[in-house]
Amino acid sequence: MKKRILLVEDEPNLSNSLSLILAEENYEVLALATGRPAIEKFQEYDLLVLDLMLPDIDGVDVVKAIRDKSPQFPIIIISSRSSEDDLVQGLSAGADDYMTKPFSIKELLLRIRRMLVRQKFYLEEDDTKKNSKDWPRISCFQFPSGLRIDFANFRAHTLQGEIALTTQEAYVLHHLVEYENQVVARQDLLAKIWGHNLSVETRTIDNFVVRFRKYFENNTQKPKHFITKRGVGYLFKSKS
Ligand code: CA
């Protein structure tokens, strides 16, 4: 069955050429020039390619609205906004990937393919893990600030209020909390959470940590809980 891609891009030239190329790659494509209809329609599709600067709504708000309904739906942002802030905003709103315009179409196709494979794996994995008796080993974790992670229900009280965690977010957080005060290597996290057989990049872990800092750190520039160990991975501390 053809995979269905929702494309939201208000620049007609880019939208047309992307639609053509995606169709040639055997995807079924719906191209929209505005963001709001995407929030209504996304569940009929397998993946969303989303521009941020849209005539009707900020793309980041589209991501947030979709994440409220579906923590797992694959979203790739394509944007000419390339500052660190936009990247962090997009990813912390819940996008899975971010490409800065102009980008290579080949690279976009590669990422789409990879994300669809990952998605399939997630869905299968979710069922087994969510129903497994040993999840979660830690049912709830509370920071000294009062912010909380409820692993059993995949929810968290964050600086942005109460949110639904994606399954992967919950797994990565759980692993870090379980190994508190120990350096966790990116490679170990990838192997434990995604298995060895997937081409998930170590950058994926960094993107997760960017989100976690947004959720739980008062000063994301000077993290006290999610500490980077350069060249190795991350160290989680519950107390500063
Ligand atoms: Ca635009």
Residue 38 belongs to what domain range?
A: 4-123
Adjacent-strand bridge partners of 234:
184, 228
CATH of residue 38: 3.40.50.2300
Query: 110 CA distance to ligand 1 centroid (A)?
Result: 22
In a domain, 179, yes or no: yes
Query: 206 CA distance to ligand 1 centroid (A)?
Result: 27
Q: Are residues 56 and 93 in the same domain?
A: yes
Q: What is the pLDDT of residue 81?
A: 76
Mean pLDDT of 80-99: 80
Query: 56 CA distance to ligand 1 centroid (A)?
Result: 10
In a domain, 71, yes or no: yes
Q: What is the pLDDT of residue 123?
A: 64
Query: 8 CA distance to ligand 1 centroid (A)?
Result: 9
Q: Are residues 118 and 150 in the same domain?
A: no
CB 87 within 8 A of CB 98: yes
Q: What is the pLDDT of residue 55?
A: 97
Query: 88 CA distance to ligand 1 centroid (A)?
Result: 18
At residue 41 the predicted structure's pLDDT band, cuts being 50, 70 and 90, is very high
- The least confident of 48-57, 145-154, 204-213 is 204-213
pTM given for the model: 0.60
Mean pLDDT of 201-226: 89
Name the maximum alpha-carbon separation found in the chain. 53
Query: 207 CA distance to ligand 1 centroid (A)?
Result: 24
Mean pLDDT of 24-47: 96
Please write the tens of the pLDDT for every residue from 178-199.
999 999 998 888 877 776 545 5
Q: Taking 90 as the threshold, does the pLDDT of residue 5 lie above it?
A: yes
Buried b (16+ CB within 10 A) or exposed e, 141-169: bebeeebebbbeebbbbbeeeebbbbbbb
Query: 6 CA distance to ligand 1 centroid (A)?
Result: 15
The tokens describing 235, both together, are 């160290």
Please write the tens of the pLDDT for every residue from 18-35.
999 999 999 999 999 999
At residue 90 the predicted structure's pLDDT band, cuts being 50, 70 and 90, is confident
Query: 199 CA distance to ligand 1 centroid (A)?
Result: 30
Q: Are residues 11 and 117 in the same domain?
A: yes
Please write the tens of the pLDDT for every residue from 121-180.
666 666 666 566 678 889 999 999 999 999 988 899 999 899 888 878 898 999 999 999
Domains identified in the chain, total number: 2
* CA atoms of 184 and 240, how far apart (whole Å): 18
Query: 192 CA distance to ligand 1 centroid (A)?
Result: 38
CB 178 within 8 A of CB 137: yes
Distance (Å) of CA 33 to CA 13, 67, 96: 11, 20, 21
Q: Are residues 111 and 71 in the same domain?
A: yes
Q: What is the pLDDT of residue 13?
A: 96
* CA atoms of 61 and 113, how far apart (whole Å): 25
Q: What is the pLDDT of residue 238?
A: 92
- CB proximity list for 14: less than 8 A, separation 6 or greater: 101
Q: Report the first-to-last Cα separation within the chain, whole angstroms.
A: 51
In a domain, 90, yes or no: yes
Query: 78 CA distance to ligand 1 centroid (A)?
Result: 9
Query: 166 CA distance to ligand 1 centroid (A)?
Result: 27
Mean pLDDT of 67-90: 82
Q: Are residues 192 and 104 in the same domain?
A: no
Q: Taking 70 as the threshold, does the pLDDT of residue 113 lie above it?
A: yes
The tokens describing 92, both together, are 């912390």
Mean pLDDT of 88-97: 81
Query: 66 CA distance to ligand 1 centroid (A)?
Result: 19
CB 168 within 8 A of CB 122: yes
The CB-side HSE value for 112 (13 A sphere, CA atoms) comes to 27
Q: At what angle do helices 59-69 and 84-93 cross, to 10 degrees?
A: 20
Q: Near ion ligand 1, which residues have CB within 5 Å?
A: 10, 51, 53
Dihedral (Cα; 150, 118, 71, 43), 10-degree rounding: -150
CB 112 within 8 A of CB 76: yes
Q: What is the pLDDT of residue 127?
A: 61
Q: How many CB atoms lie within 10 A of CB 118?
A: 19
How does strand 47-51 pair with strand 4-8?
parallel
The tokens describing 10, both together, are 């208000």
Query: 94 CA distance to ligand 1 centroid (A)?
Result: 19
